[in-house]
Amino acid sequence: MSIGDRFNQFVGKTRYVVSRIFIHLQGNQIAPLLGVLNQNARMAVDADGDMEVMGECLVNTCEGILQYRTYWQSASNEGDVFWDEADAGDFVTDLFTDSAQRYLSQPDLEEVEENAPLSLPVTDNIIVMITVAFEGEVPEIETDLADMEALTDGLKALINLNYKNKYRAIALHFSPARLGEKLTSDQILINFPELIPL
């Protein structure tokens, strides 16, 4: 901890952590996770930023990812600590915008049409991007998560943090975000270069 951080802590300033986690899952059995992600995307949009609902969506997403641990392929994370809420908010906005612009990361929030085809191409790659801002200190999230055990602990910490009411912002993005879209290995290398094999 730097001298500035120690001083801020000493004078009672609130510590804000902003973190973004990338998780790449690969396998021909992961398609049901896309359904879970889309259901949570609809809930999040309907909630219009309500933190209680967003927290529930985050918990559902983390639990879904933990259930598919066998298919984890690569991961990475980034983040920073702030003592000013406005600076933390600006960083959340930057990460949110970047995640939303990632390849195939725009969900289809329309209901499936009645005459839609019964079979769609199924992707065997999914990348989930979780962005959070919270108060306090959580070592399990503020570490390198490009490791199976560290990522498991980090996802569990995200779930636990929801029940402590410490979240200030939550954003969930995923690619591909629409049923029928496919994400190839080459597209992952080009559009998600930060991923590190687990």
The stretch 168-175 carries a mean pLDDT of 94
Domain ranges of the chain: 29-110+121-197
Q: To the nearest whole number, what is the mean pLDDT of the chain?
A: 89
pLDDT, tens digit, 9 for 90 and up, residues 29-54: 998 898 899 899 889 888 887 899 99
Cβ 66 vs Cβ 133: under 8 Å = no
Residue 173 CB neighbour total at 10 angstroms: 24
Residue with tokens 């930057």: 94
CB count in 10 Å sphere of residue 158:
25
Listed range (62-66, 85-89, 102-106, 152-156) with the worst mean pLDDT = 102-106
What pLDDT shows up at residue 187? Answer: 93
Per-residue pLDDT, averaged over 7-31, amounts to 87
Find where tokens 């979780």 sit.
130
Distance between CA atoms of residues 101 and 9, nearest Å: 36
The residues, any chain, with a CB within 8 Å of residue 188's CB and separated by 6 or more, are 24, 125, 127, 195
> For residue 117, is pLDDT > 70?
no
Extract the tokens encoding 162.
């929801």
* pLDDT tens track for 52-98: 999 999 999 999 999 999 999 999 999 999 999 999 999 999 999 99
Between residues 54 and 180, the one the model is more confident about: 54
Q: Quick one: which of 129, 81, 131 has its CA closest to 104?
A: 129
CB atoms within 10 A of CB 147: 14
Instruction: Name every residue whose Cβ is closer than 8 Å to that of residue 178 and which is 6 or more positions away in sequence.
Output: 104, 106, 107, 108
Band the pLDDT of 10: cuts 50, 70, 90.
low
User: Quick check: helix, strand or coil at residue 7?
Assistant: helix
